[in-house]
Amino acid sequence: MEKRRLYMDYSATTPVKKEVLEAMMPYYTTYFGNASSFHQFGREAKEGLDKARAQVAALINAEPREVFFTNGGTESDNWALEGTAFARKDKGNHIITTKIEHHAILHTCEYLQKVHGFEVTYLDVDAEGKVDLDQLKRVISDNTILVSVMYANNEVGTIQPIKEITKIAHQYGALMHTDAVQASGNIPVDVKDLDVDLMSMSGHKIYGPKGIGALFVKKGVKIHNFIHGGAQEKKKRAGTENIPAIVGYGKAAELAKANMDHHVKELTRLREKLLNGIVETIPHVKINGHRTDRLPGNANISFEFIEGEGILLLLDQLGIGASSGSACTSGSLDPSHVLMALGLPHELAHGSLRLTVGDFTTEDDIDYILENLPKVIARLRELSPLYQTYLKEHPEEK
Ligand SMILES: *Cc1c(COP(=O)(O)O)cnc(C)c1O
């Protein structure tokens, strides 16, 4: 029997959709021109660029001129933070973010603190991963120049009240940035309704190619350049544009917008079936993140008495690709900063498993997981000294 290839890690990256690849191909071979060139080859590339910008803008209800292409979510995050911090230095030196941001935000904040003397406050989150708005109101001041809160968390899926946070930021004259890499394309996102000033996005999380993303910069918002050089992207982001990737990202954005309702409904259904199935068949588990305000495809569960690495290893042997917030997978001894910020006890944080479903996940895939995961967990617990001790104390469970 051929080994199963079951991908359950859509939050890490997604495959490129066939329509996306088809849209990209001519831009490698036929319309290969440099979009800055003054001839038909350049114009053809420029047309692809313009169309993609309109497609990405439409996905988030922005104006095309407010969309700047970057090489991905990480660059967008770096640019948003550094570009506004440096542009607003005369207005204050305080930045507010959260403890559960992606490292693209956290490490940029540390850099701004250590090298450039900015003050950074890291907001707490509650047990379900929601930002503490009261704490935000307590720490924000006229010295605050930027608030950056992620739209949806990549590990536990929790969605933040960005509109409310933006209102508070603006009351104090601070700019509002949101890392919407997981949100944009996965749930409806409307920058006009949210009123955010800056928003990061990425192509490869929404069935586009890797190495392409965008930063939304609201008209009138001042931001320093991050990449210096030529006049591309209205002189805001230098470097010859990666037209095939941009065209692919545009197509992915168009598909995401067109499929949004179905995508949200179907992924939520599969995720609920998965979560409910796990809770029903496996004892001593905890669902991490917010139960309803979460990314449609995200299931994050902690299993008592065992390590996430062990689960990943056995799932990998079954052909299932998943992810964990526990230690070794991330190359450090501590479990993920997100699970720790949620206040998970160490033993639960170490036994975490993230399964993310996507547009190619089938009912059959979920059944396969629900059939095999209980066996995997039981096998690991049999080998777990923690579990054996627990059984001695609770003989009724044997
Ligand atoms: C993936 C991700 C990023 C980084 O995006 P890249 O395009 O991979 O650089 C940033 N923030 C969040 C929340 C992400 O999930």
Q: What is the mean pLDDT of the chain?
A: 96
For residue 274, tell me if it sits in a domain: yes
Do the beta carbons of residue 55 and residue 175 sit within 8 Å?
no
Q: Which ligand 1 atom is the nearest neighbour of the CA of 205?
A: 1
Last residue of a domain, one of 256, 275, 303: 256
Residues whose CB is less than 8 angstroms from the CB of residue 263 and which lie 6 or more positions away in sequence, other chains included:
186, 256, 296, 359
Taking CA atoms only, the protein residue closest to ligand 1 atom 8 is 73
Q: pLDDT tens digit string along 144-153?
A: 999 999 999 9
Q: Which domain holds residue 205?
A: 18-256
Q: pLDDT tens digit string along 3-62?
A: 789 999 999 999 999 999 999 999 999 999 999 999 999 999 999 999 999 999 999 999
Which residue is catalytic, options 328, 332, 375, 382? Answer: 328
**CA–CA distance, 151 with 158 (Å, rounded to integer):** 8
Taking CA atoms only, the protein residue closest to ligand 1 atom 10 is 73
pLDDT at 328 > cutoff 60: no
pTM for this prediction: 0.97
Kindly state whether residues 149 and 227 are assigned to the same domain. yes
For residue 1, tell me if it sits in a domain: no
pLDDT at 329 > cutoff 60: no
Residues whose CB is less than 8 angstroms from the CB of residue 173 and which lie 6 or more positions away in sequence, other chains included:
91, 142, 144
Residues whose CB is less than 8 angstroms from the CB of residue 209 and which lie 6 or more positions away in sequence, other chains included:
16, 20, 24, 203, 244, 245, 248, 249
Kindly state whether residues 205 and 232 are assigned to the same domain. yes
Kindly state whether residues 198 and 279 are assigned to the same domain. no
Render 306-325 in DSSP notation, one character per residue: S-HHHHHHHHHHTTEE-B--
pLDDT at 332 > cutoff 70: no
Cα 75 to middle of ligand 1, angstroms:
9
Strand residue runs (E) in the chain: 6-7, 67-70, 94-98, 119-123, 144-148, 175-179, 198-202, 213-217, 285-287, 298-303, 320-321, 352-356
Confidence of residue 2 (pLDDT cuts 50, 70, 90): low
**CA–CA distance, 145 with 96 (Å, rounded to integer):** 8
Kindly state whether residues 300 and 218 are assigned to the same domain. no
Last residue of a domain, one of 256, 275, 297: 256
Confidence of residue 333 (pLDDT cuts 50, 70, 90): low
Last residue of a domain, one of 236, 256, 276: 256
Kindly state whether residues 198 and 276 are assigned to the same domain. no
What is the pLDDT at residue 347?
A: 85
Q: pLDDT tens digit string along 171-191?
A: 999 999 999 999 999 999 999
Q: pLDDT tens digit string along 265-294?
A: 999 999 999 999 999 999 999 999 999 999
Kindly state whether residues 71 and 190 are assigned to the same domain. yes
Mean pLDDT of all residues in 369-388 = 97
For residue 289, tell me if it sits in a domain: yes
Kindly state whether residues 316 and 204 are assigned to the same domain. no
Cα 273 to middle of ligand 1, angstroms:
27
Q: What angle do CA 155, 118, 143 make, to 5 degrees?
A: 100
- Say which amino acid occupies 274: L
Taking the alpha carbons at both ends of the chain, their separation in whole angstroms is 35
Range name among 107-116, 332-341, 343-352 with the lowest pLDDT average: 332-341
What is the pLDDT at residue 21?
A: 98
CB of 208 shorter than 6 A to ligand 1: no
State how many domains the chain has. 2
What is the pLDDT at residue 136?
A: 98
Residue 194 in tokens: 């949210």
Mean pLDDT of all residues in 68-80 = 98
Confidence of residue 335 (pLDDT cuts 50, 70, 90): confident
For residue 198, tell me if it sits in a domain: yes
What is the pLDDT at residue 4?
A: 87
Kindly state whether residues 275 and 348 are assigned to the same domain. yes
**CA–CA distance, 187 with 314 (Å, rounded to integer):** 32
**CA–CA distance, 307 with 103 (Å, rounded to integer):** 23
Among 196, 212, 222, 188, smallest CA distance to 49 is for 212
Give SS3 for 89: coil
Q: pLDDT tens digit string along 225-266?
A: 999 999 999 999 999 999 999 999 999 999 999 999 999 999
Mean pLDDT of all residues in 114-142 = 98
